[in-house]
Structure 1
Amino acid sequence: MTDPQLSAILAFLGGTVLAFLLTLPYVAWSYRRRGEFGLGHAVLAFGLLVYALALWTYTLLPVPDTTPAWCAENAVSHPQLRPLQFLRDIRADQVGRGIRATLHNPAVQQFVFNVALFVPLGMFGRQLFRRGPVAVIGIAAVVSLFIEFTQLTAVWGLFGCPYRLFDVDDLFANTAGGAIGYLLAPVLRVVPGRRVRQAPDVPRPVTTRRRLFGMLLDLLAVVTLGGLLQVATVVSLELLERPTPPSWVLGTAVPVAIVLLLVPLLGDGATLGQRAVLLRPVGPDGGKPSVGRMLVRFLVGSGGYFILSATAWSGLGTLLLLVNGVMAWRPRDHRGLSGVIAGLRVVDTRAGAETGAKVDHQDATLESGR
C-alpha cells in the first residue's frame, strides 16, 4: 500500500469516527442554525471532516522515527524560500517532449497535487460557510501557511527534527487551489437536501422521522458517553492501580441516568436526543411534565429498554424498543408508547403551548405527504 493510499484510508476512517462522535452536537447545531436537519448539508459536513483529516494525513504522514541518528542524515534543515522555484524544477525534471512527458514530470505532478489539495477547501468555504472570494482565498492562504510552519517546526517541536520541507511555492499553489475551489463551488449545489424551507425559528410539525431521529440520538448519546466514561475511568484507575468497576456501570447505568433521566428532570423534560431535534414533552396542561410522569416515561421508554437489556430479560427489552418505535409512527400525534402511558404529548420547542397544539394537529396532513 502506497503512502497516498494509506493517507486516504486513514482520512476516511478518522472522518467516520469523528462523524459518529459529533453527530449529536451537529444535529443540535443544525436545528438551531438552519431550523432542520437536511441530509444534503450533513453529507457535505461529513465530506468536510474527511477532507480536514486528509489535509493532516497528506501533509504530515507518515511520521519517521526521528532519532538523533535519523535526523543527522535526513532532517530537512533548509526551507525552500525561492518563489517560482517549481518552474526551474519542472525544466530540470523534464524528460522528453509533449503533453505526455510533461504529465509524467514529477515536479508538475507535485505542483498540480498541491493545487488540487486545496480545491475542496475553496468549495466548502463558499458552499458550506457562505464566504466571499476574499475570505475563502485568505483562509486558504492562512491554512497553507499554518501547514508549512508545522512542517518547518517539526510539528511545533513534537519531533526531533523537521521531516517535511517548508516550500514557499506550496503557499502559492495551495492558495491558487482555494481560489479555483471557490469558482467550482456551484457544483456542490447538485447535492439534494441542502435548502431550508422556512426560517430557523418557525416551528416544524412533529413527524415520525423526527421522533425516531430523537430516539436514535438518545441511543447514540448513551453509547458514546458510556464509551468515553469507560475509557477515561479505566485509564485513570489503571494508572492509580485501583480496581475498575463493572463495565455495565459506566457503560450503561451512568450514561442512561444522565441522558434519559437527569437531563429531563433538570431541564424542560426533554432527553438529549429530543433537545437536539427541538422537541419537548408536555403534560396535560401544556407545561413541563411532573416528576412522576417523567419517571413513568423513562421506565416505559428507552430507560426500560436499557434496564431490561442488562438483565436476563434482554429479549423483552428489544420488544419494548420496537413497540416504542412503531408507536412513534402511530398514533398520528406520535406520542409513542411511553407518551401514551405517561399521558404526555411531544411538541416543537419553538412553539408555545397553544401553538404546539396547533402544530400537532397539522402533523397528520403533512405526514401523509411524506
Structure 2
Amino acid sequence: MPAVLAIAIGLALAVMLFVPYVAQQYRRRGEFGIGNAALAFTGLLYGLGLIAYVLIPLPELTPDFCATSGMWPPQWVPFNFLHDMQKEAVGVGLGATLRNPALTQVLLNVSLFVPLGMFVRHMFGRSVAATTVIALACSLLIEVTQVTGIWFLYPCPYRLFDVDDLMANSLGGLAGALAAPVLRAVPGQRLTAEPGAPRPVTRSRRLLASLCDLLLFQLSTVLVSSICTVLGIFPTRQADQLAASWLPWFVLVIALPLAGSATSIGQRIVHLRVTTADGHPPGVGPRLVRSLAGTGGYLLLVQLGELPGGPSGLAAFSVLAGIFPVASLIGLFTTSGYRGLSCAAARLRMTDARTPLRQPDVVSA
C-alpha cells in the first residue's frame, strides 16, 4: 500500500511540477537533460515512498486505542538489536544468522536510507559528512513523528522509537553517500555547452515545448474551473467548464504570443524564438498565424468539438483535432530547421532564444 500510494501521488506531482522543472533546468543548465529528469523523478518517488512508509497504514482511532495499539515505550539502548538477535536465534551458522528477524530489520533500515544518501550527495552536491548528517536528521524526524503519534494526531505512539533505527539509517545514508558516484553513469546528465550558449533546434526540444504548452493549458483549465465553481461566477457547472477552457486558451494562445514575441510559453521555457527568414522579429499577422497553426489551433479544434448543444457539424472539429497532432508531427520531421507546420504556414523560422537578433538596417542620410 505505501508503494502504490507513493507511485500514484508521485505521478500526479510529476505532472504538476513538470513545467516548473523544465523551466528550472533550462535556466540553470541551458538544456533539459533526460538523465537529470529520470533521477529527479526517481528521487521524488523515493521521498514519497519514505513518507508513506512512516505514516501508512494509519490505524483506526478507537476509545481503547492506547490500550490495544499504542503506548510503545522508546528504546534508548544502543545496539539492543544484538540482544534481540539472541532471543530470535533459531539454529546456528551463517544462514541462520542472516535469517534472524532482528538482523533483517536492521539491514532493511540500513538499505532504506542508502538511496537517500545517493540522491543527496549526487543531486545536491553535499559532502559525505553533510549527507550523513542529513540522513541522521531525516531519521530523527521519522522517529519523532512515530514517538509523538504523528505529531499528536494520535493520543499515544503506535510505532516504536528505536535508537538502533537512528544508527542504522545513518549508516545507510553514509553508505549511499559513498556509493553516489555510481549515479554519474546515468546517461543524459552532461552539459553539451555552457548554459548561456545557443544550442541547435531539435525535434525533441520542439516536442518538449508543445508538451509544456499542453500541460499549462490543462492545469490552467482545472485552476480556472475550480475558482469559478468556488466563487459561483457562472450559474451552471457546464458554464464553469466552458469559461475554464476558453479563458486559458485566449490568454495562453492569443494574448501572450501577440503581446510579446510570437513564441508560446512552452517555447520560451525551452529558450526557443520565432523570427522571420532574415532574422527579424515577426509582425502581428505572422504571430497570429503561427499561434493558430500550432498548439493553439489544436486546442481550438478540441474546444469547438466539445461545445454543448451545437450542430452536428461540430463533430467534424473533433475529427480534425485527432488528425491535427499527426499532421503536426509529420510537419516537424519534414520541414527544414524543424519549423513545423505553424512556422511554415507563417513563413517564419525557429531559432535558439540565446542567438542575438538581427538589428534593423540603418539607412544613412
- Normalising TM by the smaller chain, what interval? 0.7 to 0.9
Change (3 A) 1:350 1:117: same
Give me the whole-angstrom Cα distance separating, in 2, the residues matched to 1:79 and 1:101: 28
- What are the within-5 Å matches in structure 2 for residues 195-234 of structure 1? 195-231=190-226, 233-234=228-229
Is 2:113–2:176's contact at 8 Å kept on the other side of the alignment? yes
Is 1:300–1:337's contact at 8 Å kept on the other side of the alignment? yes
1:272 aligns with 2:262: no
Give me the whole-angstrom Cα distance separating, in 1, the residues matched to 2:344 and 2:214: 21
Is 1:296–1:338's contact at 8 Å kept on the other side of the alignment? yes
Give me the whole-angstrom Cα distance separating, in 1, the residues matched to 2:226 and 2:79: 50
SS of 1:58's equivalent in the other structure is helix
Change (3 A) 1:168 1:349: same
SS of 2:64's equivalent in the other structure is helix
* Equivalent residue number for residue 358 of structure 1: none
The counterpart of 1:281, out of the listed 270, 274, 285, is 274
SS of 2:32's equivalent in the other structure is coil
Change (3 A) 1:283 1:160: farther
1:257 aligns with 2:250: yes
- What are the within-5 Å matches in structure 2 for residues 256-335 of structure 1? 256-283=249-276, 286=279, 288-310=281-303, 311=305, 312=314, 313-335=317-339
The counterpart of 1:178, out of the listed 150, 161, 173, is 173
Is 1:15–1:50's contact at 8 Å kept on the other side of the alignment? yes
- What are the within-5 Å matches in structure 2 for residues 123-202 of structure 1? 123-202=118-197
SS of 2:184's equivalent in the other structure is helix
Is 1:261–1:271's contact at 8 Å kept on the other side of the alignment? no
* Equivalent residue number for residue 42 of structure 2: 47
Worse overlay, 82-91 or 286-295: 286-295
1:78 aligns with 2:82: no
Aligned length: 348
Change (3 A) 1:232 1:184: farther
Is 2:75–2:162's contact at 8 Å kept on the other side of the alignment? yes
Give me the whole-angstrom Cα distance separating, in 2, the residues matched to 1:325 and 1:241: 37
* TM superposition shift of 1:91: 2.0
Is 1:252–1:306's contact at 8 Å kept on the other side of the alignment? no
Across the aligned residues of Structure 1 and Structure 2, the Cα RMSD in angstroms comes to 2.6
The counterpart of 2:356, out of the listed 345, 352, 356, is 352
* TM superposition shift of 1:81: 2.1
Structure 2 stretches lacking a partner, 5+ long: 306-313, 360-365
The structure with the largest alpha-carbon Rg is 2
SS of 2:195's equivalent in the other structure is coil
Structure 2 letter corresponding to 1:352: P
Give me the whole-angstrom Cα distance separating, in 2, the residues matched to 1:77 and 1:192: 46
Structure 1 stretches lacking a partner, 5+ long: 1-5, 356-370
* Equivalent residue number for residue 3 of structure 1: none
Structure 1 letter corresponding to 2:272: L
* TM superposition shift of 1:87: 2.1
* Equivalent residue number for residue 363 of structure 1: none
Give me the whole-angstrom Cα distance separating, in 2, the residues matched to 1:199 and 1:76: 57
Change (3 A) 1:344 1:63: same
* TM superposition shift of 1:335: 2.4
- What are the within-5 Å matches in structure 2 for residues 33-44 of structure 1? 33-44=28-39
User: Which digits, 9 at most, give the CA deviation of each residue in 1:322-368, with x for residues without a partner?
Assistant: 3333223332222222223334332212221149xxxxxxxxxxxxx
* TM superposition shift of 1:137: 0.9
User: Which digits, 9 at most, give the CA deviation of each residue in 1:93-132, with x for residues without a partner?
Assistant: 2222122222222211111111100000111122222221
* Equivalent residue number for residue 368 of structure 1: none
TM-score (norm 2): 0.86
Give me the whole-angstrom Cα distance separating, in 2, the residues matched to 1:298 and 1:83: 66
Give the % identical residues. Answer: 44
Structure 2 letter corresponding to 1:181: G
User: Which digits, 9 at most, give the CA deviation of each residue in 1:271-329, with x for residues without a partner?
Assistant: 22112211122356745544443322222222221222232212123333333332233
TM-score (norm 1): 0.85
SS of 1:195's equivalent in the other structure is coil
Is 1:90–1:105's contact at 8 Å kept on the other side of the alignment? yes
Give me the whole-angstrom Cα distance separating, in 1, the residues matched to 2:152 and 2:273: 49
The counterpart of 1:26, out of the listed 18, 21, 28, is 21
Change (3 A) 1:151 1:243: farther
Structure 1 letter corresponding to 2:38: V
* TM superposition shift of 1:174: 0.7
SS of 2:124's equivalent in the other structure is coil
